[in-house]
């Protein structure tokens, strides 16, 4: 599989983080209308605030990222993305285990879009359990 590691991202990584964030939005079929430039600005705000981003790399090739609010208790995993060409091989689970080791937390929250069955099954396979149902009314 090659050398696999996790690195904390910096403001120098905003372009790649924003691009992967756009792909995550597409993959989740989320209704977020932001383009890559707007996502880059938002990501910068996250990183200058209470969030840290982590890049997953295999032999120095970026395979995905995670965005974590490390101030919130429990910690909140806002975004977790694995590049499309790296899915289905167990790499997502390996990335998540590296992230847990890096974060050193006892509890971690994550949200999954209601219609995202693949994401739901992934998080359940890692031991996550339901805690709430988040609802929205749109008129």
Give the pLDDT confidence score for residue 109 in this predicted structure.
95
Give the pLDDT confidence score for residue 93 in this predicted structure.
93
Q: Over 60: is that where the pLDDT of 119 sits?
A: yes
Q: Which two tokens stand for residue 132?
A: 């709430």
Within 10 angstroms of residue 88's Cβ, the number of other Cβ atoms is 9
Q: Over 80: is that where the pLDDT of 2 sits?
A: no
Compute, in degrees rounded to 10, the torsion defined by CA atoms 54, 60, 97, 132: 40
Chain-centre distance for alpha carbon 71: 16
Kindly state the greatest CA–CA separation across the chain.
51
Give the pLDDT confidence score for residue 98 in this predicted structure.
94
pTM (two decimals): 0.90
d(CA 17, CA 93): 20
List residues bridging with 80 in a β-sheet: 66
Compute, in degrees rounded to 10, the torsion defined by CA atoms 88, 92, 66, 109: 110
| Mean of pLDDT values over 46-66 | 95
Q: What is the residue extent of each domain of the chain?
A: 4-125
d(CA 64, CA 5): 11
Q: Over 80: is that where the pLDDT of 1 sits?
A: no
In terms of CATH architecture, what is 4-125? Answer: 3-Layer(aba) Sandwich (3.40)
């Amino acid at each position: 599989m090659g050398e696999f590691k996790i690195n904390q991202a910096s403001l120098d990584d905003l372009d790649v983080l924003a691009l992967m964030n756009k792909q995550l939005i597409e993959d989740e079929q989320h209704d977020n209308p932001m383009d890559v430039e707007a996502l880059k600005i938002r990501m910068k705000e996250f990183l200058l605030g209470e969030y840290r981003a982590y890049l997953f790399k295999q032999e120095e090739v970026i395979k995905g990222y995670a965005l974590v609010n490390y101030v919130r208790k429990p910690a909140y995993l806002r975004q977790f993305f694995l590049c499309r060409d790296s899915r289905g091989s167990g790499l997502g689970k390996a990335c998540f285990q590296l992230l847990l080791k890096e974060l050193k937390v006892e509890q971690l929250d994550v949200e999954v879009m209601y219609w995202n069955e693949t994401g739901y099954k992934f998080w359940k396979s890692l031991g996550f359990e339901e805690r709430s149902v988040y609802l929205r009314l749109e008129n």
